[in-house]
Amino acid sequence: MANATLKATFSISSTDLFDSVNLSKTVTDSLTIDGDNRQGLTTMTTSTSYADINIEALAGTTGGGRKAYVYAKNLDSTIDLLFADDGNTAFAKLAPGEFMFYPTADNTKIQVKSVSGTPRVEFLLLEVD
């Protein structure tokens, strides 16, 4: 599979997080995607049991190993979503409408579950190496 490029831009700003410092910054990155697992934008109904968002075990040795770029958003309007790594240990909780973007590594899978009910999650997973 030919390499692909993912362009990522993140902006953060606030005029009242700090009294004496205004926050306003934009960062960009051009990421090379060369893994064998490219999962485009997907939506899935969650439950209170963990489900994998990757369709095959994450692999590779580059940049710490088993690396992939992950975007996820909680599409629900009332219920939180929990994300865990392959040790079933939660590391992120998305409130309704919240999103995250990060490079995962050192884990064979990423899991998601709801704290209650069946909210929907939107995600993108792009394996590196």
Between the alpha carbon of residue 81 and those of residues 9, 29, 103, the distances in Å are 24, 27, 19
Is residue 77 helix, strand or coil?
coil
Contact stretch for another protein (CB under 8 A) within 43-51, 53-61, 86-94? 86-94
Please report whether residue 89 would count as binding another protein according to CB under 8 A.
yes
In the complex with another protein, the residue whose CB is nearer, 10 or 47, is 10
Q: Are 81 and 64 in contact (CB under 8 A)?
A: no
By CB atoms closer than 10 A (0-12, 13-18, 19+), residue 66 is buried
Residue selected from 51, 59, 79, 92 as contacting another protein according to rule CB under 8 A:
92
Asked if residue 95 lies in contact with residue 78, where contact means CB atoms within 8 angstroms, the answer is: no
Encoded one letter per residue, x for contact with another protein by CB under 8 A and - for no contact, window 35-74 reads ---x-xx---------------------xx--x---x-x-
Residues found near another protein in the complex (CB under 8 A): 2, 4-18, 21, 23, 27, 29, 31, 33, 38, 40-41, 63-64, 67, 71, 73, 82, 85, 87, 89-95, 97-107, 124, 126
